[in-house]
Chains A and B, each alone.
Chain A
Amino acid sequence: MRIGASLLLKNGFCYQSYRWQFLRPLGTLQNAIKILEERKVDEISIIRYCRGEDDVSTLDHDLDLITKIDCITPLSFGGGIRDVLTLQKIHQLPVERILLSSAYFEKDQMLIEKAIELFGKQALIAVLPYRVSKEKFEYFHCRLNQFLDCDMSFIDKHSNEVMFYNIDLEGCNHAIQLEPHHFPLPNPKIILSGGVNRTFIKKVRNLDFAAVSFDNASLHHEFNFSEL
């Protein structure tokens, strides 16, 4: 199971998100990446904070920031990827994997197939921000800024892995309550994120998930990812 960290990027600066409601500043992207690398994280996901329509100049500024990053750890990048032009810009960056969310909700076949053509299907991660309400999963569509259903079989077919991002526990020091068959896809396809901490890692270590990804807590304490 890979152990990674997510960094939320907004206007060229990293932020911490708490329960999908409140942002706190974190710091510069390069500093965060440098420290995560020293701590031997397996992968780093850079996610642009993007609800509603995106701004092209902000996107270009963030992409420019990524080109200047000094990093040898595998990077995933996403947030606001909504057209082929953006995909082509990202193709020039030192990014191994692409994070798409709204495209999967909208079943944007053209965009997804272009992403597969440019990066390979192994590079595609579908991001599903979710919460559990009355034992039912509810998924958040970022571009429309609301909760909507999604076609899980489409997502399963057109992605390599799926990141389930718990928005209720995001930024909290709680372990996600996990039961077998809790998620609608097989565990080896799933990346868990939102509220992940060291205790949670111990709980899920032997449950065959593809990966876990720390959110805010990755930099709050001094620990070595390879020792988890």
Chain B
Amino acid sequence: MSIICSNCLHNDRHPFGISFVDNICSGCYTHQEKNSLDWHSRRESLFHIADLAKKFRSKGLTYDCVIPVRGVAEDYFVIEQILSLELNPLLVAINDYFFNDIGWHNLHNLITIFDLDSQIFSPNFHEYRELVSTSFRKQLHILYPSLSLNCSYPVHVANERGIPLIIWGQLQPLEQVGKFSHLDSVEMTKWSQIEHDRLGYDIAQVIGNGAHLNPQHLVYYDYPIRARNLGSKAPTGIYLSNYLRWDPLKQNNSILKYGFKPQRETATFDPYERAGSSVYYTAHEISRLHRHGYRKVRDHINREIRHGRVSKKNGENLYQYYCTQKINLAPFFDWLDVSESGRQWIFQHLLGQHTDIITDESDSNHIQYSEFLPASIKNMVSTSFAQTVEFVAFGKGI
């Protein structure tokens, strides 16, 4: 029998794992830690880490940290915080070929507005698309290659350039399901990347046999060997959410002043998280629903319940509303070059139980908010834009 948290909407089925005490899930239990932590001293710890990193700059290094970015709202907030520490970061981004016009705008705007050096890696498109096809076929996960690159490539860059620090935004397993205590001060590890971002597999296991790919060409999809051998010179990865009281919606709303464009979605009320993606709330959403049994908006609703902006009752109604929102897979299938018979096979054999929410139409211009969305949240999400061009291979200019 499934256990449901008495505070939020999580049940005992979550990809990160979840536990319960007195019917409260570990996510809600851990969120309560935020009320008792000494955030001032945690911020002091961050200053100390920044000071250590700056010492490398004094030895002739140009950058003292790497910030992995996607051009999403969280990146703007992270950079704002890092610059306040007087660090000199190198921004590292991956072109996963899923950016839309909003995504490219936000990424280039990020680099321009903060006037920072950046490195954007575009993997070989044919190999990348073959990986997407393989991971979709084997794990029903279209973002596995993108996640692998986004996790590993910044570590490669930091490794190769001798940059001592990698700064990530939120530690998702802690924020979503309380997988760790804030007091653990969990850092980036290869284990964490495999366990939380890569479904427990490394790239060689995903390829297996059947994919027309040479593993020697996929080095950047995997954690670098030198970092694996560890030792004192391997880069350290930290999560800003361990040092700052993390409130994503409030933070993301605060960075609109930098010209960030939130993306209007039918699948959620949150226009900030993963804004700029052509697939996150469409093809990825349906594959996620199939694998884990719930839609992404549930994570958003739980987050707002924990921050006291939505009641659980309203949250349940909100979730029911968003569960009926339809998803258009046609653009993704076009990108993947899936034939009509292939699409029919997928609908019949892989996604058969979800055909009631699959549509051929996209209409992000006429999104209505659910009546159950409180005014306090509506005020923070009212600014948003509809994508006009999706699957932009490479965008330029802002």
Contact surface of A with B, Cβ cutoff 8 Å: 13, 15-16, 18, 21-28, 30-32, 35, 38-39, 171-173, 216-217, 219-224, 227
User: Would B183 and A173 count as touching, CB distance under 8 A?
Assistant: yes
Instruction: Tell me whether B26 and A25 are in contact (CB under 8 A).
Output: yes
Chain B residues in 8 Å Cβ range of A13: 17
- Beta-carbon contact of A173 and B194 below 8 Å: no
Q: Which residues of the other chain, A, contact B189 by a CB distance below 8 angstroms?
A: 35, 219-222
Give the number of A-B contacts (CB < 8 Å): 82
Say whether A172 contacts B29, CB under 8 Å: no
Contact across chains for B19 and A15 when beta carbons are under 8 A apart: yes
Residues of B within 8 A of A30 (CB): 200
Question: Main secondary structure on chain A at its contact with chain B?
Answer: mixed
**Which residue of B has the minimal Cβ distance to A30?**
B200
Residues of B within 8 A of A (CB): 16-19, 21, 26, 29-30, 177-181, 183-192, 194-195, 200, 227-231, 234, 236-237
B181 touches A35 (CB 8 A): no
A65 to chain B, nearest CB (A): 14
Please report the C-alpha to C-alpha distance between residue A59 and residue B179 in the assembled complex, in whole angstroms: 25
Taking the closest CB of chain A, its distance from the CB of B239, in whole angstroms, is 11
Report B283 CB to chain A, min CB distance, Å: 26
B185 touches A35 (CB 8 A): no
Q: Say yes or no: A220-B187 contact (C-beta < 8 A), given A25-B17, A25-B177, A31-B200.
A: yes
B26 cross-chain contacts in A, Cβ below 8 A = 22-25
Bound-state CA distance A224–B234 (Å) is 11
* CB-nearest residue of chain B to A35: B191
A18, closest chain B residue (CB): B181
Q: Are B234 and A222 in contact, CB atoms less than 8 angstroms apart?
A: yes
A27–B184 CB distance below 8 A: no
B178 with A38: CB separation less than 8 A: no
Give the CA-CA distance A27 to B195 in the complex, in Å: 7
Pairwise interchain contact A25-B191, C-beta atoms closer than 8 A: no
The docked-state distance in angstroms from the alpha carbon of A16 to that of B83 is 35
Cross-chain contact of B187 among A39, A221, A227 (Cβ < 8 A): A221
- Tell me whether B190 and A220 are in contact (CB under 8 A): no
What residues of A have a CB within 8 angstroms of the CB of B185 in the complex? 173, 220
Q: Are the CB atoms of A219 and B191 closer together than 8 Å? A: yes
CA distance A25 to B178 in the complex (A): 9
CA distance A30 to B178 in the complex (A): 22
Distance, CA A31 to CA B18, complexed state (A): 17
* Shortest 3 CB-CB contacts between residues of A and residues of B: A25-B17, A35-B191, A224-B230
With both chains docked as a complex, state the minimum distance between the C-beta of B396 and any C-beta of chain A, in angstroms: 37
Contact of B180 among A38, A39, A172, A220 (CB under 8 A): A220
Q: Determine whether the beta carbon of B231 is less than 8 Å from that of A27.
A: no
